[in-house]
Chain A
Amino acid sequence: MSAKTPFLERVEKALADDHLRGAVRYTAENLYLKRKAVMADLDVLAEKGEALGNFEELRARAQEIKRHTLAHLDAYLKQAAEQIRKNGGVVHWAKDAREANQIVLEICKKRGAKKLIKSKSMVTEEIHLNQALEAEGMEIVESDLGEYIIQLARETPAHIVIPAIHKTRRQIADLFGAVAGRELATDTKTLAGFARATLRQKFMTADVGVTGANFVVAETGTLCLVTNEGNGRLTSSVPPCQISVVGMEKLVPRLEDLAVMLNLLPRSATGQKITTYFNMITGPRRPGEPDGPEELHVIFLDNGRSNILATQYQEVLSCIRCGACLNSCPVYRQLGGHAYGSIYPGPIGTVLTPLLQGFDQWDELLQACSLCGACAENCPLGIQLHKHIIRLRGEAVAQGREHPLMRTALKAVHFAWTRPGVYKFVARSAHLGVKPFTRRREDGSEYLDNLPSIAAGWTNSRTMPAPARKPFHQRWAELQREEGAK
Chain B
Amino acid sequence: MTTEQDFLARVAEKLGRSPESAPPPFRPSEPLPAIGPRGKDALADRFQMELEKINGVVHRVNDASEVAPTIVRILNEAPAADPGKSRAGDQDGAGTVGRTVVRWADPLLDEFDIDRALEQAGWQPVAFRQGDDGRAFVARVEQAHAGIVGCDAAIAETGTIVLGSSPLGGAEGNGRGSGDARGNGSAGGRGRTVSLLPPVLIALLRKEQIVFDSAQLFRRLARAPMPSQVIFKSGPSRSSDIENDLTIGVHGPGALHVILL
Contacts and interface: CB of A to CB of B under 8 A. Distances in A.
A286 B84 contact: no
Interface string A271-288: 001111111111111111
A209 B16 CA distance: 37
A188 interface: yes
B214 to A, nearest CB: 5
A102 B85 contact: no
Given A64-B29, A290-B128, A274 B252 contact: no
Interface string B233-261: 11111111111110101111100000000
Contacts of A229: 237-239, 250-252
B258 to A, nearest CB: 14
Interface size class of A (residues with CB under 8 A): 35 or more
Given A219-B222, A255-B221, A281-B229, A169 B243 contact: yes
Contacts, number: 312
A472 B139 CA distance: 81
A367 interface: no
Interface stretch (A49-57, A348-356, A374-382): A49-57
Contacts of B237: 228-230, 276-277
A309 interface: yes
Contact of A231 (B50, B187, B228, B251): B251
Given A199-B251, A290-B132, A274 B242 contact: no
A93 B2 contact: yes
A286 B185 contact: yes
Interface of B is mostly: loop
Given A254-B222, A289-B190, A290-B137, A283 B239 contact: no
Contact of B2 (A26, A99, A278): A99
B192 A292 contact: yes
B226 A52 contact: no
B222 A238 contact: no
A81 B4 contact: yes
Interface size class of B (residues with CB under 8 A): 35 or more
A437 to B, nearest CB: 43
Contacts of A254: 26, 218, 222
Contacts of A92: 1
Most buried by A among B190, B240, B241: B241
Interface stretch (A71-79, A329-337, A383-391): A71-79
Interface string B49-81: 010001000000000000000000000000000
Interface of B: 1-4, 6-12, 14-17, 19-24, 26, 28-30, 32-33, 35-36, 50, 54, 82, 84-89, 128, 130, 132, 134, 137-139, 141-142, 157-158, 160, 165-166, 185-193, 196-197, 212-215, 218-219, 221-222, 226-245, 247, 249-253
29 contacts: A26-B244, A73-B15, A75-B17, A87-B228, A93-B2, A145-B239, A162-B244, A193-B85, A196-B250, A200-B197, A200-B251, A230-B252, A230-B253, A254-B222, A257-B26, A259-B215, A274-B158, A276-B54, A276-B236, A277-B233, A280-B229, A282-B227, A284-B228, A290-B190, A290-B191, A291-B191, A292-B192, A300-B7, A307-B14
Q: Which 5 pairs between the two chains have the least Cβ-Cβ distance? A: A230-B252, A289-B188, A75-B23, A146-B241, A259-B215
